[in-house]
Chain A
Amino acid sequence: MSPALKPAPPFRRLAPIGLALLVLPLLLTAPLRPAAPQERLQRTAPSGPHPPMYRYFHPERTLDPTALIGTTLLAMAALSGARRLLPRRVPLPLVRGTISGGIVLMGWEAVSALGLVNPVLLPPPTLVLTKLAVYWQLGWLQAHALATLWRLALSFLLAFASAVPLGILMGHLPWCAHFLEPVIHLLRVIPAPAWLPLSILWFGLGNASAIFITWMGIFFPILINTLAAVQRIEPAQVETVLTFGGSRWDVMWQVTLPSAAPEILTGTRIGLGIGWIVLLAAENAATLPQAGLGWLILIAQTWLDTPVMMAGLMTICAAAFLMDLGLRQVDKRFALWKY
């Protein structure tokens, strides 16, 4: 192939410019780096519209911004540079994802460091991570996360255990679907958090009302997906089981559940996403005293402790992402045969 036909790799050409843009904030902030602990308070900016402790040079911060930026740059460079050297190549999406994630993280740090935004409203990631580490060491973060996860798990189990059997029942018995469908479609369109004031009257302030509305949020996506899947079952598959000596019960285990499983999983993924929304809305509405990530964020807001608020959001992000990642792995198994 002639060299003229070979397209120039765009990334390689743009890499020096991009790298320069990334390093520039680092160089600009270099003279402002936090000094040794004993000097820190002295170097705090003396005046400004905000109290000194909320300036970029936060006295509690132990994480050096250059460390964060340096580590991110190093990871990006290592991944893109070592790609060809490693025996099993690092997948390209991972490299690109690290680069875009790194850019966002460093940009965030930079806008805080350069004073482009009010650091009280957008604390730099180094400060957020510091707070995260402190709360982790104190065990508070785990306690709040566990409180939220426990509520979510209970609501999810209740919703799954009620929605799947009901969906199968309605899918198998048309008359049952005719009776229930209007009710379900009317209830389904009500956003679950709208039930909160009423459920507080019904179940009181506390876990019960939060679990009730979270159940409402998770229940319908699973039910609708299960119902649709069961109604679409291939009659030849059911008749195969019947002609091979199977009972109605065998049809359920051999055909209904396996063929509906991918759609039940889709409903579960949608439902869990909605479950997080509803549960956090309930916790943010101060219905649940003393515990939960939503409650932590709410309380941190009253203290104007934005790093803790950000730390709470990061924890939610990590937990929800890991859950969805796990469900995506299950979904990959279904991809072997899904229509």
Chain B
Amino acid sequence: MAQSVLRADNVRKIFYVYTDPAGTTVVSSKKQFSLNLWRRRSIYELLALDDISLEVYPNELVALLGPSGCGKSTLLRIFAGLERPTSGRVAFKDQEIKDPDPQRAMVFQSERAVFPWLTVEKNIELGPKLQGVPRAEREERVRRIIELIQLNGFNTAYPATLSGGMLQRVAVGRALINRPEVLLMDEPFGALDAITRNALQDHLIRIWQETRQTIVFVTHDIEEATYLATRIVIMHPRPGRIKGVVPVTLSHPRSRTDSAFVEARRKVADLLGD
């Protein structure tokens, strides 16, 4: 088998949850000690991820599937370099992941992650601009990305004038323009209505078929995972563990009413339900 793009070995992630003297609950990666003798902070440890080992290979479309609170977003953020594992090792092409990197571009769930003060093309241009790509090449890349996400004519539109589905396409294009080795998507279509979500899933499949981009995405929707992924990693909560890995061998584009699809979905649902 080919060399893995992302690799997690025995990853554990502990969050420290405590109430500060003001009474607010704070979740932190760091253990914080209180010198306040009058009112001890109640610290407890939340084991978000326990002994996760996972490998992602080139051109794969991997879905991390599980109920909310199972640590799937945390695992994705660890892959992105936004969080560090408490123990264990995460590697990107045999190099340990320490910091965020444009090679592992991230698409966030929040619609507000697309900068509202920049137009569509300026938003897409952000990554290359930060990396110091010359202007001429930047413009060329932006043009191609806008074609890929099919937002021609919206170049100078502000995000406030776009629909939720268009915004997520901008978010995907903005990540893809970095030419990442792997695209990490954190519930990208979670906040959308069903019709828009289906359309965007087809969009994503088209982009994936055109670019053969390695994608890892997080979802809590069984049908979405079955419809998109070539491999589904099923997780369960408290502590977050991998329950099973289901390869989906159906060819793209898939049909939601196809008997093989229904069978695959049932298999995933059964494994998730145990």
The reply on B113 being an interface residue by CB < 8 A is yes
CB distance from A22 to the nearest CB of B (A): 45
CB distance from B78 to the nearest CB of A (A): 13
Contact of B82 among A243, A336, A337, A339 (CB under 8 A): A243
The reply on B165 being an interface residue by CB < 8 A is no
Cα A236 to Cα B76 in complex, Å, equals: 14
Can you name 24 A-B pairs with beta carbons within 8 Å? A234-B110, A234-B113, A236-B109, A236-B110, A236-B112, A236-B113, A237-B115, A239-B100, A239-B106, A239-B108, A239-B113, A240-B106, A242-B100, A243-B106, A244-B126, A244-B178, A245-B102, A250-B130, A258-B115, A259-B117, A334-B117, A336-B158, A338-B116, A339-B112
Q: Which residues of B contact A242 (CB under 8 A)?
A: 82, 100
A contact residues, range: 20 to 34
Could you mark each residue 207-249 of chain A with 1 if its beta carbon is under 8 Å from any beta carbon of chain B, else 0? Answer: 0000000000000000000000000001011011111111000
Q: Which residues of B contact A254 (CB under 8 A)?
A: 115, 126, 130
Contact of A245 among B101, B109, B159 (CB under 8 A): B101
The reply on B7 being an interface residue by CB < 8 A is no
- Contacting pair B117 A244 (CB below 8 A): no
- SS of B interface (majority): loop
Q: Which residues of A contact B109 (CB under 8 A)?
A: 236
Apart from A234-B110, A244-B126, A337-B159, list 20 A-B contacts with CB within 8 A.
Answer: A234-B113, A236-B108, A236-B109, A239-B82, A239-B113, A240-B113, A241-B126, A242-B82, A243-B80, A243-B82, A243-B100, A243-B102, A243-B105, A244-B102, A245-B130, A246-B130, A254-B130, A255-B115, A259-B117, A337-B116
Cα A236 to Cα B100 in complex, Å, equals: 13
Could you mark each residue 100-141 of chain B with 1 if its beta carbon is under 8 Å from any beta carbon of chain A, else 0? Answer: 111011101110110111100000001100110000000000
Cα A244 to Cα B183 in complex, Å, equals: 12
Q: What is the chain A residue whose CB lies nearest that of B80?
A: A243
Q: Which residues of A contact B108 (CB under 8 A)?
A: 236, 239-240
B contact residues, range: 20 to 34
Q: Which residues of A contact B160 (CB under 8 A)?
A: 336-337
Cα A240 to Cα B109 in complex, Å, equals: 11
Q: A234-B112, A236-B110, A259-B117 are in contact. Are A243 and B104 (CB under 8 A)?
A: yes
- SS of A interface (majority): helix
Cα A80 to Cα B15 in complex, Å, equals: 69
Counting from the closest, the 6 A-B pairs by CB-CB distance are A236-B113, A244-B127, A236-B108, A245-B102, A243-B100, A337-B116
Q: Tell me the chain B residues, 71-103 only, with Cβ under 8 Å from chain A.
A: 80-82, 100-102
Q: Which of A239, A259, A334 has the most CB of B within 10 A?
A: A239
Q: Which residues of A contact B82 (CB under 8 A)?
A: 239, 242-243
Could you mark each residue 156-179 of chain B with 1 if its beta carbon is under 8 Å from any beta carbon of chain A, else 0? Answer: 001110000000000000100010
Q: Which residues of B contact A243 (CB under 8 A)?
A: 80-82, 100-102, 104-106
Q: Which of B108, B130, B131, B159 has the most CB of A within 10 A?
A: B130
Q: Which residues of B contact A246 (CB under 8 A)?
A: 130
- Contacting pair A237 B130 (CB below 8 A): no
Q: Which residues of A contact B102 (CB under 8 A)?
A: 243-245
Q: Which of A236, A243, A250, A258 has the most CB of B within 10 A?
A: A243
CB distance from B97 to the nearest CB of A (A): 12
Q: Tell me the chain A residues, 246-271 only, with Cβ under 8 Å from chain B.
A: 246, 250, 254-255, 258-259, 261
Q: Which residues of B contact A240 (CB under 8 A)?
A: 106, 108, 113, 115, 126, 174
Cα A242 to Cα B80 in complex, Å, equals: 10
Q: Which residues of B contact A334 (CB under 8 A)?
A: 117
Q: Which residues of B contact A245 (CB under 8 A)?
A: 100-102, 127, 130-131, 178
Q: Which residues of B contact A338 (CB under 8 A)?
A: 116
CB distance from B81 to the nearest CB of A (A): 7
Cα A334 to Cα B116 in complex, Å, equals: 10
- Contacting pair B112 A237 (CB below 8 A): yes
CB distance from A266 to the nearest CB of B (A): 15
Q: Which residues of B contact A258 (CB under 8 A)?
A: 115, 117-118
Cα A246 to Cα B106 in complex, Å, equals: 13
Q: What is the chain B residue whose CB lies nearest that of A262?
A: B117
Q: Which residues of A contact B117 (CB under 8 A)?
A: 258-259, 261, 334, 337
Q: Which of B81, B82, B117 has the most CB of A within 10 A?
A: B117
Contact of B105 among A244, A250, A337, A339 (CB under 8 A): A244
Q: Which residues of B contact A261 (CB under 8 A)?
A: 117
Contact of A237 among B80, B106, B113 (CB under 8 A): B113
